[in-house]
Amino acid sequence: MNRTRFDSSSHPLLTKGPHDCTPFLEYIIQDERSYQDYQFSCLPRPLFATHIPCSLLPASVMSSGCKIVYVFRETKDVFVSNWHYMTKLRLKELPSFPIKDAFDLFCKGVSHFGPFWDHVLGYWKASLENPENVIFLTYEDMKKDPVVCVMKLAKFLGKPFSLEEEREGVAQEIIRLCSFQNLSSLEVNQSGLQHFSPHFSVENRHFWRKGQVGDWKNYMTLEMAQQLDEITRQKLAGTSLIETLHVDTIT
């Protein structure tokens, strides 16, 4: 969206955390006045992030023609990643939060922003009903073939790559700039702070762990993985999501 305004040596991502470039709406708009003096984005063409379920988005989001990019990640990797993140943010005076306890809650649908499967289904259905404005991508596809995904995303956003840009490798340069390896190594993401509100800040380094597909195998037992796969199959039954979303069935 901003590739004609910045190059790989001047992009805001080099000096600002990703959440400063794509701020979370739910932290900006906490009441009727909280957003009035907020500088919404450091980018000329603003982009925003949100974890809000599709069913809770204002109707104006869809009617405005706003483009929504939804990224799904395999259920077991989502759970493990979230458990690590919440463990890092957990207050020291609180007792430890074993993975088994977190797993039991996750399987029951106790999760930030609602049950995981309801969240996925909401945006998946929206992408079928309104494909011009909602695109459904998977983390695994982005890791497997990032060039194809970036080209697809650019076209969806109405900013397709020109033949000249394709010859010059612009998509590949964007991928290099935005890669986990590059961003996680930057000073701002090693030592900076992300201020979500006057009373809530997170060290930027906590947003970067491994960025790998299948890392759940290092933390979940076979029984836990089988149970979560079965719940995922039940929740997504009757849809094409089982094949689309890389549900990793264990035998």
Instruction: Write out the H or E segment, with its range, that includes residue 144.
Output: helix 139-144
Cβ contacts of 76 within 8 Å, gap of 6 or more: 216, 220, 225, 228, 229, 248
Instruction: Give how far Cα 48 sits from Cα of 27, 109, 147, 152, 248, Å.
Output: 11, 26, 22, 19, 31
Question: Is 51 tagged catalytic?
Answer: yes
Rounded Cα–Cα distance for residues 9 and 14 (Å)? 8
Contact 169, 103 (CB under 8 A): no
- Active-site position among 51, 112, 206, 246: 51
Residues recognised as catalytic: 51
